[in-house]
Amino acid sequence: MNLNDRKPEKNSILVVDDDNSIRRMLRMILTNKNFLVVEAKNGQEAIDILKKRVIDLIISDVMMPKVDGFQLCRYIKNDPNLMDSYLLLLTAKNAINDRVTGLDIGADDYLGKPFAITELLARVKAAFRMIDMQKELKLKNKMLRDASIRDSLTQVYNRHYFNESISKEVARSKRYENNLSLIIVDIDHFKLINDTYGHLVGDEALKEVASALQKNTRKDDTVARYGGEEFVIILPETVLEKAHEAAERLRRVVQELKFQHNEKLIAITISAGTSSFQENKCQTENDFIDKADQSLLTAKRSGRNRSVICQENLYIPGENGL
């Protein structure tokens, strides 16, 4: 299971202590306050649980067999998937060195043993205030990040994100000699749609095409709006022939699109050009893009509503998509 695919368990607490009586007491107190409590007898059991479940708050004793509280803390704070977890260490009342060490290695708070139930609950409530603030901040940051990389009209990736992605994929293709292909798509007669029906209908056409491209490409492919009525699709680990097949499939999907305006059905078609970084012997990302763009121009000059494969520098000529 991918750790990022795990669903968070709301108001969840992992209690880690080798003392059965401490664990039972904490479970009873916290369960009565409607927290979901999970138990572990030592740090290793806690790690095994955290590999499978998303826990909000970890309350851990310091002195335990196998993996102690400090080792558990280091593990959590060194794991990118867990480092945001809130960790409260249980220490002896006079163990100042333990508290200092725990805070130095990343623990968020501590509670001395024996403890008062009121203090325990107060620290747990404070922890969840911090947890909720962190979640809200992460959500807002994600929304800001999404806004910066998404095209506001079509919600596919924007030109800026495409530029970043193509640079990374080309560098990866050069380093590992992986197959990498590119499709550039242009909506046929888009100016005519705008002139005939207005820019609002033109916007709807852009959104319809973008949605069709997104829904009919793989998860690892990158669909972006390149500008105006043009879209680009980066296809990692894809040979030229397969990329051309993908372009043809997308062309057919779009050709079947019909959307209604004032009781009139409006048809949309696209033209597409495809290139391969490896097979077309491209030297730079600009060369890679230019070869796909030239193939797109050939498709449009050949009558539109077709896809054309770049044949430049190929040992064996590919199909022309006609």
Please state, rounded to an integer, the average pLDDT across all residues of the chain. Answer: 91
Domain CATH number, residue 292: 3.30.70.270
DSSP notation for 270-282: EEEEEEETTTTT-
Between 259 and 281, the higher pLDDT residue = 281
**pLDDT of res. 166:** 98
142 plus 164 within the same structural domain: no
Of 305, 197, 194, nearest to 257 (Cα)?
305
Q: Is residue 152 part of a domain?
A: no
Amino acid (1-letter code) at residue 280: N
Which listed residue (169, 204, 229, 279) is catalytic?
229
Residue 176 has pLDDT above 90, yes or no: yes
- In this structure, the answer to whether residues 80 and 116 fall within a common structural domain is yes
Q: Are residues 167 and 263 in the same domain?
A: yes
Task: Give the mean model confidence (pLDDT) for residues 188-200.
Answer: 95
The answer to which of 148-157, 169-178, 306-315 has the lowest mean pLDDT is 306-315
Is 131 among the domain residues? yes
Q: Are residues 221 and 250 in the same domain?
A: yes
Mark whether 13 and 112 lie in a shared domain: yes
The whole-angstrom separation of Cα 274 and Cα 291 is: 8
Residues in the chain: 322
Whether 7 shows a pLDDT value over 90: the answer reads: no
> Can 229 be counted among the known catalytic residues?
yes
Residues 257-278, mean pLDDT to the nearest whole number? 91
Question: Which of the 8 DSSP states describes residue 132?
Answer: H
| pLDDT cut 70: percent of the chain above it | 94
| SS3 (DSSP) at 187 | strand
35 shares a domain with 131: yes
User: Is pLDDT of 6 > 60?
Assistant: no
Q: What's the pLDDT at 320?
A: 38
CATH of the domain at 119: 3.40.50.2300
pLDDT over threshold 60, residue 295: yes
Domain of 117, in residue numbers: 3-146
Which among 146, 180, 209 is the end of a domain? 146
Domain boundary among 91, 124, 146: 146
Question: Above 90 in pLDDT, residue 60?
Answer: yes
Averaged pLDDT for residues 9-33: 93
* Pairwise CA distance, residues 64 & 164, whole Å: 47
Same domain, 30 and 63: yes
Tell me the pairing of strands 264-267 and 258-261: antiparallel
pLDDT, tens digit, for every residue of 63-107? Answer: 998 899 999 999 998 888 887 889 999 987 667 888 888 889 889
The structure's pTM equals 0.70
Do 247 and 295 touch, CB atoms closer than 8 A?
A: no
184 part of a folded domain: yes
Question: What pLDDT does residue 93 have?
Answer: 60
Look at residue 322 and tell me if it is in a domain.
Answer: no
- pLDDT the model gives residue 317: 39
Domain total for the chain?
2
Residue located via tokens 């404070």: 126
Percent of residues, the chain, with pLDDT higher than 90: 77
pLDDT tier, 316 (very low <50, low <70, confident <90, very high otherwise): very low
pLDDT band (50, 70, 90) for residue 144 = very high
